[in-house]
Amino acid sequence: MQLSDLALAPLDALRSTRSYIADITTPTLRLGVTGLARAGKTVFITSLVRNLVRGGRLPFLSAYAQVRILSAELTPQPDDGVPRFDYERHLASLTGAEPVWPESTRAISQLRVTLTFERTNALARALGPARLHIDIVDYPGEWLLDLALLGKSYAQWAADAMVMARAPARGGSADAWLAHVARLDPAAPADEAAAIRAAEVFTTYLHAARAKEPALSTVGPGRFLMPGEREGSPLLCFAPLDIAPDARIASGSLAAMMARRYESYRAQVVKPFFQDHFSRLDRQIVLIDALTALNRGAHAIDDLSHALEAALVAFRPGARGWLSMFLSSRIDRIVFAVTKADHLPASSHDRLERLLGLIVENAARRAETAGADIRTLAIAALRATSEARASRNGETLACIKGVPLSGERLGERVFDGRSEIAIFPGDLDVDPRAALAAARILPAGEAGLGMGLVRFRPPRLPPEGSTIEAQPWPHIRLDKALEHLLGDRLV
Ligand SMILES: Nc1nc2c(ncn2[C@@H]2O[C@H](COP(=O)(O)OP(=O)(O)O)[C@@H](O)[C@H]2O)c(=O)[nH]1
Ligand SMILES: [Mg+2]
């Protein structure tokens, strides 16, 4: 070893200690991003990060508009055990020569963005720029359904699940499951093959119920719908049996086997998720694909509203009793956002927002939520359409135009993925109550509001060369969502 190396060593140590201290003294804000499958989580996070890191059009994010954000960069995440959100891959899909929507992801992931910013207060500013780590946690909304399991014994859960399967709203999707469970004797000796088969038929029913009405979401367990890394695990090999909520379960029976697995699922899957991830969140955004629900009528809207109610119970600040063991109730700000608002012209965005506000308000009242600051927004994290006008019988109609994905249909027409069309998606009623009532009277499955159910191609974005001046990505109200979620921590 040379003398110079020796002399340098303590300096290096000092330097790395300093950056270590800077790192641990930097405050962290943990932002949960959730929503059911295809609600728009991946696109939202990719666009959020791109807008911060490369710059965007964000007039409603005050720190950004006031040019106080000095830098934003991706830094290593603190939790080694959680997969990293694959930002670069999603970015590459969206910015390729033929842009495609990112592949959907099916489990939890995380990404850290570190902001350096100028404070608003002159005294504080004299101390130099401040830093904030934002840990973005992407997790399936389906997993929130499991919160309900924490408070129920196996027998209680099974009885509830049977009631739900028999509800008329299931519209026959549970028939095969009900026929199967009718042949199972809870008191019969425990049988592995029977348990596996029952879990399969039950899972098929859950998926069918959801495919029928995508907003349908109050049926769990969450990992049956979205297994994450648990796919095929014995922890998922149980199902409800037709028993009373206070049934006595004989040891060695099929019911006892199911009950034991249910307990393991709670202990090894549900509790760790709530303890390790959910309870550490500071802020939460819940993404909702409400356009689909509005198009599908009463059942879908009721399901949406139940799902929101369930989510709100999970976010209830200061929850008491057994729940508080898992929830620290730190979440003090929540955004409920209808995604893909670019399917409606600008004139309808406020209306859509008020409509969601009404649905959330009703759900919040029933869930007796108080305390967290809740905001509802209509957003498009990445806008795929632009505004257009058309005239019909001398009347000007607000339309949207975009390129539908190849294979999408509208009436008779099948799209080739190249031609642009303008659509008049219909008007939402100015009065949210009337709009909700109009959506409610639609028979399930009918494309009633006629709002562009076609999916559009992502917009053409410039390639991401580091030398090219970054161009802002088009979005709708993404900055308003960010202001509510982060704004108060950037002052
Ligand atoms: N037009 C439009 N479509 C979107 C937007 N965000 C998501 N989508 C569509 O919704 C699909 C699902 O989004 P994704 O982010 O993968 O949902 P996730 O399953 O919640 O992560 C995408 O493939 C797009 O087709 C948006 O801002 N505008
Ligand atoms: Mg995703």
Can you give the pLDDT of all 491 residues of the chain as single tens digits?
A: 444 444 445 555 555 555 555 666 899 999 999 988 889 999 999 999 999 999 999 999 999 999 999 999 999 998 888 999 999 999 999 999 899 999 887 889 999 999 999 999 988 888 899 999 999 999 998 888 888 788 889 999 999 999 888 877 666 788 999 999 999 999 999 999 999 999 999 999 988 887 765 544 566 788 988 888 888 788 899 999 999 999 999 999 999 999 999 999 999 999 898 888 888 899 999 998 877 777 777 777 777 777 777 777 777 655 444 455 555 557 888 899 999 999 999 989 999 999 899 888 887 777 766 667 889 999 999 999 999 998 888 888 888 999 999 998 887 889 999 999 988 887 788 888 888 887 777 654 444 555 556 889 999 988 887 666 678 999 999 999 999 999 999 99
- pTM for this structure? 0.89
Tell me the pairing of strands 333-338 and 373-378: parallel
- Identify the sign of the CA torsion 294, 296, 302, 306: negative
Domains contained in the chain, CATH given: 23-144+277-382+472-489 (3.40.50.300), 148-275 (no CATH)
Q: How far apart are the CA of 90 and the centre of ligand 1, in A?
A: 12
Atom from ligand 1 closest to the CA of residue 385 = 1
Residue 192, classed as helix, strand or coil, is: helix
Rounded-to-integer distance, Cα 193 and Cα 400, Å:
53
Nearest to 347 by CA among 450, 447, 424, 456: 424
Task: Render 88-132 in DSSP notation, one character per residue.
Answer: HHHHHHHHSSS--PPPP--S-EEEEEEEEE--SSHHHHHT--EEE
Query: What is the rounded distance in angstroms from the CA atom of residue 334 to the CA atom of residue 283?
Result: 6
Which of 38, 100, 289 has most ligand 1 atoms within 8 Å of CB, for mutation? Answer: 38
Q: Give the per-residue pLDDT at 478.
A: 98
Cis amide bond preceding 474, omega within 30: no
The continuous run of DSSP H or E covering 167 comes out as none
For ligand 1, atom 24: residue with the closest CA? 101
Crossing angle for the helix pair 254-265 and 154-166, nearest 10 degrees?
Answer: 100
Nearest-atom number in ligand 1 for the CA of 103 is 16
> For residue 96, what are its two tokens?
């390729």
Q: b/e string for 352-374 if b means 16 or more Cβ within 10 A? A: bbbbbbbbbeebbeebebeebeb
The answer to whether the CB of 199 falls within 8 A of the CB of 236 is yes
Pocket test for ligand 1, best of 34, 50, 101, 460 (most atoms within 8 A of CB): 101
The pLDDT value given to residue 3: 45
| CA max distance for the chain | 89
Q: For residue 118, what are its two tokens?
A: 């100028």
C-alpha 442 to ligand 2 mean position (Å): 30
Output the ligand 1 site: residues, CB below 6 A: 35, 37-43, 101-102, 104-105, 339-340, 342, 380-382, 384, 455-456
Q: Which ligand is nearest to the CA of 142?
A: 1
- For residue 321, the model assigns a pLDDT of 44
For residue 89, what are its two tokens? 């891959």
Q: What b-and-e string marks burial along 401-419, b requiring 16 or more CB atoms within 10 Å of the CB?
A: bbbbbeebeeeeeebeeee
Given this model, what pLDDT does residue 142 score?
Answer: 84
Q: Specify the residue with its C-alpha closest to ligand 1, atom 2.
A: 340
Which ligand lies nearest the alpha carbon of 38? 1
Q: How far apart are the first and last CA of the chain?
A: 49
Going by C-alpha positions, the residue among 131, 207, 213 that lies closest to residue 176 is 207
Sign of CA dihedral 440, 287, 213, 183: negative
Please report the pLDDT score of residue 120 as a whole number. 94
Rg of the chain on CA atoms, in Å: 25
